[in-house]
Chain A
Amino acid sequence: MTMLISERTHPGRIAYALPPCDVPMHTLPDFAKRAAPAALPELSELDVVRHYTALSRRNFGIDNGMYPLGSCTMKYNPKLHEEIMRIPGLAHVHPEQPVRSIQGMLALLVALEHDLAQITGMDAITLQPAAGAHGEYTGLMLIRAYHEHKHEHRTHVIVPDSSHGTNPASAMLAGYEVITIPSDPNGLVNTEALRRVVGPHTAALMLTNPNTLGLFEKDIVEIADIVHSAGGMLYYDGANSNAILGIARPGDMGFDVVHLNVHKTMSTPHGGGGPGAGPVGVKEALIPFLPNPRIQYTDGQYTLYDNPQSIGKVKAYLGNIGVLIRAFAYIRSYGPQLRNVSEHAVLHANYLKTRLSPFFDVPVEGICKHEFVLSAKTIKQQTGVRALDIAKRLLDYGFHPPTMYFPTNIEECLMIEPTETESLETLDAFADALIRIVEEAHAEPDLVVRAPHTTPVKRLDEATAARKPVLHCHCGVD
């Protein structure tokens, strides 16, 4: 195992020596001083560089290889957008600066709000939420504020059984009771089941479209009608927006509240725990409740103002600005060609699905959107090799595994989202690797069950890690 940086410490070793102090010294008041020196690691610059370079070589990211993690949209993040985010005029502003000195930043954010409203078909956008689930929570708070404003006490949020786990979790956190409805045999929302559960208690239905199986909810207009007739609102989880950019808009489908995971769809680095950004779009009726402050343009300048009916702030200042700038750069570098992103994402998914279908169970036949699910149910019955083992073996072939065991309504599920940024050669290499693994499962199942063989750490004991997690290091630091 790799040592932690604090375990590599060597007392007295330093990377830099500061010159003697040639300005007046001020000492901290006693109450602000540590009782004992901080146990910081002591290393040379070369020690530090080698430590982190070694760690980075053990990491796997989109810059290393294909990362077809279903529903996570692990596409390439163009380096141009990193450069733009680092333009000093954008990178060096402080949120406490006077508003008149950050007019350019505010203009960019307003333009981004406008672009996202156009892309989603909504009337207004807040850029504050820090990620997808935060967007969901914000959206549900907006829905709650809207119903309460109308003096309606609505207590239930409906989700389909294929929904992302964050949907019921956000609804619970927002104080709602969650009702799960089963999918129909084609993997779509069962409209009859929906009709049975809507009523005066329905606050909202949360839906991802296309859904987690990569299927477009073709009955969306009828679904919207069912929910709206009961007085409920329709919430769009934008996790799968990569399938519909420039082609279909949630606002036109009847959705009232939308969040976009711009860190996924608009291609900013993600997957390392953040930061992300989950802008939320709303229809006109919900605008008064959007988080404060709002940005407005009047008399030739941008200013901030507070809405009295707002749900309040949901994030410090105006949001995760670095992510938002990258998203803006992404949208503007594509321009009207944004539609190509989704066309290629869908084409790639269907290409892979067609190539892999003869080798796996295919829970849902036919054309998919940007992602698809395969099942290893028959492979497991015949060989004992599970979806988990196949995913681990893919590491040996240099690919990040797809999402496993999700959605939960599919047995031994592998959920594959190739994204639009992979070449035909890479897609073929990935398909070849999976097909080869299926052959291995039959010929030499042990090879697959014991995988991975080539990674810095081999098969991890995930159950013990979850049952007996060790959450802090024992390296002399209190």
Chain B
Amino acid sequence: MHVPEQYAYTAQHEWLYGEDNAAKVGITDFAQCALGDIVYVDLPPIGTQVEKGASFGSVESVKTVSELYAPVSGTVVATNEVLKDEPQHVNTAPYTDGWMIAIALTDASQRESLWDAAQYEQAYGA
């Protein structure tokens, strides 16, 4: 299981990484591995207000459809358009090419509630 040091994590397997005005969000290596081959990613339009802990979209694999939960509150400032046609990036590069949305944070202090890599690894590591 790959868990990059500098990223922040939720217990629901999302990660957050980047500046307050456009922090990227995706799902972890653990999550993509458990889901299996991703076939569709449903993302909100740019400008959508997302709330910490609330669903902002869904990810569909050959096994199941899972909700995506926002790690922090804010406005969606970008979405990964490439995933529309090539959702497999979530499997092959969950922390880079497989990013899903970028959020402009409304409250940067919400970052403090997220887990660091060690905490995430402790919770879900083998």
Spell out A's residues near B (CB within 8 Å).
Answer: 165, 381, 388, 404-406, 408, 411, 462-463, 466-467
Contacts and interface: CB of A to CB of B under 8 A. Distances in A.
Contact of A411 (B34, B38, B60, B88): B34
A72 B45 CA distance: 37
Contacts of A381: 126
A453 B62 CA distance: 21
Contacts of A406: 64
B52 interface: no
Nearest to A461: B37
B5 to A, nearest CB: 25
Interface in B52-74: 60, 62-66
B34 A463 contact: no
Contacts of A404: 63
Given A467-B39, A467-B88, A462 B62 contact: yes
A67 B68 CA distance: 34
B76 to A, nearest CB: 21
Contacts of B40: 466-467
A406 B62 CA distance: 12
Nearest to B39: A466
Interface of B: 34, 36-40, 60, 62-66, 87-88, 126
Nearest to A381: B126
Nearest to B65: A165
A405 B37 contact: no
Contacts of A388: 36
B39 A463 contact: yes
Given A405-B63, A405-B64, A408-B64, 12 more contacts: A381-B126, A406-B64, A408-B63, A408-B66, A462-B37, A462-B62, A463-B37, A463-B88, A466-B37, A466-B40, A466-B62, A467-B87
A460 to B, nearest CB: 10
A39 to B, nearest CB: 31
Contacts of B34: 411
Nearest to A406: B64
Nearest to B86: A467
Contacts of B38: 463
Contacts of A463: 37-39, 62, 88
B82 to A, nearest CB: 13
Contacts of B62: 462-463, 466
A84 to B, nearest CB: 40
A194 B3 CA distance: 34
Nearest to A462: B62
B39 to A, nearest CB: 4
Contacts of B88: 463, 467
23 contacts: A165-B65, A381-B126, A405-B36, A405-B63, A405-B64, A406-B64, A408-B63, A408-B66, A411-B34, A462-B37, A462-B62, A463-B37, A463-B39, A463-B62, A463-B88, A466-B37, A466-B39, A466-B40, A466-B60, A466-B62, A467-B39, A467-B40, A467-B87
A455 to B, nearest CB: 18
Contacts of B64: 405-406, 408
B7 to A, nearest CB: 24
B29 to A, nearest CB: 16
B66 to A, nearest CB: 8
A411 B33 CA distance: 12
A151 to B, nearest CB: 30
Contacts of B65: 165
Contacts of B66: 408
A404 B34 CA distance: 13
Contacts of B87: 467
Contacts of A405: 36, 63-64
B64 to A, nearest CB: 5
A466 B86 CA distance: 11
A405 B37 CA distance: 13
A256 to B, nearest CB: 28
Contacts of B37: 462-463, 466
B38 to A, nearest CB: 8
A467 B37 CA distance: 10
Nearest to B67: A180
B33 to A, nearest CB: 11
Contacts of B36: 388, 405
Nearest to B87: A467
Q: Which of B36, B39, B40, B64 has the most CB of A within 10 A?
A: B39
A463 B87 CA distance: 10
Nearest to A411: B34
Nearest to B62: A462
Closest 8 CB pairs of A and B: A463-B37, A466-B39, A405-B63, A462-B62, A467-B39, A408-B64, A463-B62, A463-B39
A146 to B, nearest CB: 28
A467 B34 CA distance: 18
Nearest to A408: B64
Contacts of B60: 466
B58 to A, nearest CB: 11
A406 B38 CA distance: 17
A463 B60 CA distance: 11
Nearest to A180: B67
A463 to B, nearest CB: 3
Contacts of A408: 63-64, 66
B70 to A, nearest CB: 17
Nearest to A169: B65
B13 to A, nearest CB: 13
A69 B19 CA distance: 48
